Amino acid sequence: MKNIVIIILLLVINYPGQAQEGLITNINGRESKSLNGSWNYIIDPYETGFYDYRYKERNENDGEAYWSRPQEEKKEDRIEHGYEEPYTLQVPGDWNSQADVFKYYEGTVWYQRSFDLDDLDKNERYFLYFGAVNYEAHVYLNEKKIGSHKGGFTPFNFEVPKELLQKEDNFLVVKVDNKRHPEEIPTVNTDWWNFGGITRDVALIKLPNNFVEDYTLRLSPDQDIERSERKNKFTISGSFKVNESADSNAKVNLEIPELKFKKEFTKDAISEFEFNVKNLELWSPENPKLYDVKISYNNHTISDKIGFRKIETSGKDILLNGEKIFLRGISIHEEIPQDVRRAKNKEDAKQLFGYVKDLNANMVRLAHYPHNENMTRLADSLGIMVWSEIPVYWTIDFESEKVLEKAKTQLQEMITRDKNRASVIIWSVGNETPVSETRTNFMKSLIERTRKLDNTRLVSAALEVGYNREKNYVDDPLGEFTDIVSVNEYLGWYGDLPHAKENSNWEVAYDKPLFISETGAGAKGGFYGEKNERWTEEFQQWYYEETIKMMKRMPDNYSGISPWILTDFRSPRRNHPKYQEGWNRKGLIDDKGNKKKAFNILQKYYEEIEKNKS
């Protein structure tokens, strides 16, 4: 018994400064110091900076560890690592695109930069925030470890123990490892490039002792929109997550000036609240209305822009604000093809959404992992609906409880970051997972967790089609648990030629909205010929023409489509020496930014759908 108590105590006390704090959301809406820019690096394929020559983890004070400051004081000193020009990488950014040595590199790279903190105030708290690091990160400040994180596409933060920070010359080191592992998410096999590095923004956030770590603000899901509009009375619900010591009795202020709403919430009312407003303009693709929101607590103010809307299904339809919608979508990878790199900033998001708008789409499937927060924020202001997904992709280890926990962590981080984005209408828990009871239980558990974390959005997962000459059927048992049935469809590319679609009929086992989460064919941009010659733009055009004809014959629950994919993207699985050269060529836009013929076909289809709507 005594031992159990000690073990529990140890678990609770943990390792001061090591445990990851709750995720602090909306970093750009708070006071923070950017740590983006030029960082030094060491490539460390043998992980010499982490393990000694007996392959034992180095202890914290080991001067040969790469988190330690290399000090060559006397000329006889032996130092075997260092951080110096010209060995620098830009943060944010993948490493693969920044120097030739990194192109195919998968392994450990140590990043280092120094920073000053002229206004260091020991009464405040400081947190280091990372938008994303692919895949595993260990963070050290002034030679002490402050935390570690796994998961390549979601944010994390660690509190910096006060005694560690100094006004000048703080020595920050991050060990980044992007090696693939069977027990990670995603696993070893993906159809995308495993770009490594500190791929998103890094910042130091200064906060008072007690602060609002996170908050939720949304239209209450259970109101009838028609009735709310008639009565001009809309209910908004929300919560504040305050990390507060027991003696504090400070109050949280919420203000939405345009709605003439201002209220002080007392300590016991902050975990869940509801209030009514008048004259609310609902967010929609036609009117992506966002309201300025201010949350103040303890002399600290957070600003945000939030839209309010309702998304639900009713029988075979998807309803936005009570009205049936059709999702004119397109799938996107987080890549800028002409630079052969991961997208990393607002300009990149603008480029990608520029294509989306041009296509006349109203929805994007952000595949196959959570994209940069810039993407969902821009989608909010442009009125583009979003499908956001965790990388539970293909054959991850469904048997493992630990893997399930990792998936849940990524899910929670994705939802925590983006739950206030009106644009996000669908959380997806995975893609093309192979049917088995174990996998279905695994996925079901993720769906249940999603609903617990957020019951105001739809939950889905991309399933596969059973192709059959007479009838293509969708009967994956997972369809029973998702809100919409989503399937990836490739008849005419992976089997047969596009004319196979002429007589193809569909049967879906579930009476729910049906969404085609992928469909597509490869074409090398600028390669022209007969339509039955693979890799020509004409072949891809033909595929899209036949697909659209087939869609017009789909069962009446057909509610949207997000073809595969907006632009060509890098993939180590695509090795045709003439047509692919390491690129998946299913983009509607090629690797130089040129539209292929099929772009126009889809654009016209979307125009037609929009016209018929009005």
Please give the residue ranges that form the binding site for ligand GCB (CB under 6 A).
Answer: 191, 368, 431-432, 488, 518, 564, 584, 586
Residue 182, CA distances (Å) to 132, 185, 189, 564 in order: 21, 8, 9, 26
Closest approach of ligand GCB to the CB of residue 75, in Å? 55
Q: Which is nearer to ligand GCB, 440 or 580 (CB)?
A: 580
Q: Which is nearer to ligand GCB, 304 or 546 (CB)?
A: 546
d(CA 217, CA 225): 17
Closest approach of ligand GCB to the CB of residue 191, in Å? 4
- For residue 485, the tally of other CB atoms under 10 A from its CB is 25
Residue 205, CA distances (Å) to 117, 171, 278, 415 in order: 12, 17, 36, 21
Q: Which is nearer to ligand GCB, 190 or 456 (CB)?
A: 190
Q: Which is nearer to ligand GCB, 527 or 569 (CB)?
A: 569
Q: Which is nearer to ligand GCB, 49 or 522 (CB)?
A: 522
Closest approach of ligand GCB to the CB of residue 564, in Å? 5
Q: Which is nearer to ligand GCB, 58 or 501 (CB)?
A: 501
Closest approach of ligand GCB to the CB of residue 192, in Å? 7
The length of the chain in residues reads 614
Instruction: Please return the burial class of 261, using the count of CB atoms within 10 Å of its CB with bins 0-12, 13-18 and 19+.
Output: middle
Strands 558-561, 569-570: pairing kind: unpaired
Closest approach of ligand GCB to the CB of residue 434, in Å? 12
Closest approach of ligand GCB to the CB of residue 337, in Å? 14
Closest approach of ligand GCB to the CB of residue 514, in Å? 17
Helix (H, G, I), strand (E, B) or coil at 41: strand
Closest approach of ligand GCB to the CB of residue 55, in Å? 36
The tokens 């293509």 sit on which residue? 472
d(CA 534, CA 493): 9
Closest approach of ligand GCB to the CB of residue 490, in Å? 7
Of 176, 51, 179, nearest to 111 (Cα)? 176
d(CA 20, CA 128): 11
d(CA 211, CA 565): 42
d(CA 488, CA 446): 20
Run of H or E including 10: helix 2-13
- For residue 436, the tally of other CB atoms under 10 A from its CB is 12
Q: Which is nearer to ligand GCB, 67 or 564 (CB)?
A: 564
Answer positive or negative: Cα dihedral of 237, 242, 247, 252.
negative
Closest approach of ligand GCB to the CB of residue 491, in Å? 12
Look up residue 518 and give its two tokens.
């992928």
Answer positive or negative: Cα dihedral of 240, 243, 244, 250.
negative
Q: Which is nearer to ligand GCB, 130 or 398 (CB)?
A: 398
Q: Which is nearer to ligand GCB, 517 or 536 (CB)?
A: 517
CB nearest ligand GCB: which residue? 191
Q: Is 74 left (phi over 0), alpha (psi -120 to 50) or beta?
A: beta
Sheet with 311-314: strands ordered across: 311-314, 317-320, 323-325
Closest approach of ligand GCB to the CB of residue 32, in Å? 35
d(CA 363, CA 377): 14
Closest approach of ligand GCB to the CB of residue 575, in Å? 13
Q: Which is nearer to ligand GCB, 409 or 433 (CB)?
A: 433
| Angle subtended at Cα 32 by Cα 31 and Cα 36, rounded to the nearest 5 degrees | 155
CB 568 within 8 A of CB 335: no
Closest approach of ligand GCB to the CB of residue 140, in Å? 35
CB 136 within 8 A of CB 130: no
Look up residue 547 and give its two tokens.
């697909």
Closest approach of ligand GCB to the CB of residue 10, in Å? 43
β-bridge mates for residue 279, sequence order: none
Q: Which is nearer to ligand GCB, 442 or 564 (CB)?
A: 564
Amino acid at 110: W
Run of H or E including 302: strand 300-306
Helix (H, G, I), strand (E, B) or coil at 297: strand
Q: Which is nearer to ligand GCB, 175 or 368 (CB)?
A: 368
Instruction: Please return the burial class of 197, using the count of CB atoms within 10 Å of its CB with bins 0-12, 13-18 and 19+.
Output: buried
- For residue 508, the tally of other CB atoms under 10 A from its CB is 21
Closest approach of ligand GCB to the CB of residue 463, in Å? 10
Q: Which is nearer to ligand GCB, 460 or 584 (CB)?
A: 584
Q: Which is nearer to ligand GCB, 149 or 570 (CB)?
A: 570
Which residues have C-beta within 8 Å of that of residue 322, sequence separation ≥ 6?
224, 225, 226, 310
Q: Which is nearer to ligand GCB, 334 or 518 (CB)?
A: 518
